[in-house]
Amino acid sequence: MAMLENLHKGDRPLQALAGVMAAGLLILLGGLWYVQIVAGKKYAEEQVAQSFRTVRIPAVRGKILDREGRILAENRPAYHASVYLEALSPYFRQTYAILVSNEAARVRAQYQRNLSREERATLARAARYMVASNIVSRLGLLLGQPAELSPAAFHAHYDQRRALPLPAVMDLNSNQVARLLENTILPIGVDLEVQPARIYRHGSLAAHVLGYLRKDNSSFEGEEAFFNYRLPDYRGVIGIEGVFDAQLRGRAGVKSVLVNYLGYRQSENIWTPAEPGMNVVLTLDTELQRVAEKALEQAGRDTGQPTRGAVVVMDVQSGDLLVLASAPAYDPNDFLPSISPELMEQLNDPNLRPFINRATQERYPPGSIFKIVTALAALEAGVLDPREIYQCKGYAQVGDTRIDDTAPPGPYDFLRAFKLSSNDYFIHYGMRAGLDAILRVGQRLHLGERLELPTGQNDGGFFPTRAWINQRRARGIIWSDGDTANICIGQGYVAVTPVQMAVMTAAIANGGRVLQPRLVQRIEPMEITGLGENVVEYPPRLWGELGINPHHLELVREAMLADVEDPDATGRRAAVPGYRIGGKTGTAEVKQGRRLVDKITWFVAFGPYEQPRYAVVVMVESGASGGYTCAPVAAQIFKAIRDREQTAPLAMMPTP
């Protein structure tokens, strides 16, 4: 009261003090208003940013199925034992206190000083590792397998991913899962986690079609680019896994983790659930693929070395690829979670080259199977009368070049020349027809054109064109009669892939329709409810018409039948009792200069002869001959087809 009276009496010092106090109060209120009202939103956002961590949750990857819905690639639940670090936080502090007490006493006694900040930080790291390592060791004892925690791995996880559980023991078996679930007293912080893991049921079966995965935790196109953490995820590298990666992988989800001021997890919730990937349905027939791969492997045993080759089985009416096999293969399971350096070194073998898809990616000289093209060209040109007798000499003389014949000298009509694969005969009539006639037939079969199969491994081979020949002529490189003679028998400037030869064989069998090979039937949601799901269909496609006289095609089919059924034919080892097959053998030479370095052996066939439905192509590198090495492989495939048709006729009907 006295102060107020003095103020009213005009006590100037007191009035000045009151003014200062009032100004200070106004400043304090103004600052409080700014913090609460103006900057409050900013501080709240910063607090949220410091309190929440976003985590990328991979979606369940779609399945890969064969034409009958049989699973080739799927996901299985993988069980992992993890340690939640927030549960260990009190024990970190206790162990740290013990370590600091002991070390501080030692340092004071020895050096008469206190612990530095760096020394205390080192002790804190050691304490955390001691606690976590002890928990992991106890977990290993419980699970019945040794378990060790790498110091580097632990410290990296603590520093960078503290809000996430620490992976301790991965991929538990069923007995270990049961032990964890049945044990009422688990080591502190330990819990069981379940994540989807990719599995290829049949190991290396159709490996080059399926492809493999590689660990990749990065954000994908169309996803939120920023995440604090990313749970383990994979990206398709090659094959169906690679080409259809976007469809198979689905869309990742997001969860938020609330952390405390030390960075430990307090709670979590899902912001956006992951959307599972789509299933990819192939045209392959798993059981026929298995038969083909086993037969191809046996062909290699017969040559005394690991098989290097390919098998293609194609539906001649729709273009569906029922078998697409390449040897040697690899097991896609070996890449999960990551492949060992030792195994990767084996897969990079420069001689075997298991990563190469020999059915679609590698180009080979076709050898005598190309005589099918030469025969059609000569028949269409009107220079070949199938009844006319040509006296073969046992070799062909073209200018200064002599080309040996594998067929003996003597009189040949078309049928005998085809089944005995006479070089002299086909060079003679191919030269009479002329290069352009041969080029026309090859180009209608799309030789030299790349097939866009969804394997990520495609090659178009090589087939000459007049433009290419003229370009070389402009550089002074003249196309010779010897070049034409070589191409007549599938040597020289022609190289093909096995799948291209399947297209050729199918066109002969079906009456001249050149079909695009089809490997994928459709892409469909993982769960079909019938409520209008988005299904993407890949219908069969006609590539073009061969434009060959039907009578000439029939003559070639009859010659292919003779090459299998006649007792003196080169393809007789492909014969299957009760199932008529038309085929053609081939053996091509691979030379470096004049030196023979390898042989490529072939057998192409179709069946049944009366109503063709299947084209089969077998190629083996370093084989003995097409008839000896490759024809028996085709026989095994046609036997499997015959047996299945006899027991369940409808099961083998090709599905368009």
Residue 106 CA to residue 387 CA, distance in Å, equals 108
Report whether pLDDT(213) > 80. yes
Q: Centre a 10 Å sphere on the Cβ of residue 65 and count the other Cβ atoms it contains.
A: 21
Q: What is the mean pLDDT of residues 305-334?
A: 97
The residue ranges of DSSP E strands in 330-405, in sequence order, are 390-392, 395-398, 401-404
Residue 132 CA to residue 124 CA, distance in Å, equals 12
Q: What is the mean pLDDT of residues 184-199?
A: 89
Report whether pLDDT(656) > 70. no
Q: Are 535 and 469 in contact (CB under 8 A)?
A: no
Residues 527, 532, 534, 536, Cα dihedral to 10° = 100
Burial of 493 (0-12, 13-18, 19+ CB in 10 A): middle
Instruction: Identify the pLDDT of residue 195.
Output: 87
Residue with tokens 């049945």: 182
Instruction: Identify the pLDDT of residue 108.
Output: 85
Of 220-224, 447-451, 520-524, which gets the smallest average pLDDT? Answer: 220-224
Residue 375 CA to residue 488 CA, distance in Å, equals 9
Report whether pLDDT(189) > 80. yes
Cis before residue 337, ω within 30 degrees of 0? yes
Instruction: Identify the pLDDT of residue 48.
Output: 47
What tens digit of pLDDT does each residue of 509-561 get? 999 999 999 999 999 998 876 655 689 999 999 999 999 999 999 999 999 99
Instruction: Identify the pLDDT of residue 222.
Output: 58
Q: Is 624 helix (H, G, I), strand (E, B) or coil?
A: coil
The pLDDT-based confidence of 651 (bands split at 50, 70, 90) is very low
Q: What angle do CA 202, 205, 284 make, to 5 degrees?
A: 105
The pLDDT-based confidence of 33 (bands split at 50, 70, 90) is low
What tens digit of pLDDT does each residue of 485-514 get? 999 999 999 999 999 999 999 999 999 999
Instruction: Identify the pLDDT of residue 107.
Output: 81
User: Which is higher by pLDDT, 107 or 587?
Assistant: 587
Q: Is 345 helix (H, G, I), strand (E, B) or coil?
A: helix
Instruction: Identify the pLDDT of residue 70.
Output: 98
Residue-range domains of the chain with CATH: 58-282 (3.90.1310.10), 286-334+358-652 (3.40.710.10)
Report whether pLDDT(585) > 90. yes
Q: Is 154 helix (H, G, I), strand (E, B) or coil?
A: helix
Residue 557 CA to residue 505 CA, distance in Å, equals 10
Of 178-192, 371-385, 550-564, which gets the smallest average pLDDT? Answer: 178-192
Instruction: Identify the pLDDT of residue 261.
Output: 79
The pLDDT-based confidence of 597 (bands split at 50, 70, 90) is confident
What is the pTM assigned to this prediction? 0.86
Instruction: Identify the pLDDT of residue 305.
Output: 81
Residues forming beta bridges with residue 267, ordered by sequence position:
258
User: Which is higher by pLDDT, 114 or 594?
Assistant: 114
Which amino acid is residue 393, in one-letter code? Answer: K
Please provide the average confidence, as pLDDT, over all residues in the chain. Answer: 90
Residue 653 CA to residue 656 CA, distance in Å, equals 9
Longest dimension (CA), the chain: 146
Most confident of 169-173, 253-257, 594-598: 169-173
Residue 617 CA to residue 633 CA, distance in Å, equals 9
Cβ within 8 Å of residue 615, ≥6 positions away: 312, 313, 314, 315, 316, 502, 505, 506, 509, 604, 605, 606
Residue 424 CA to residue 417 CA, distance in Å, equals 9
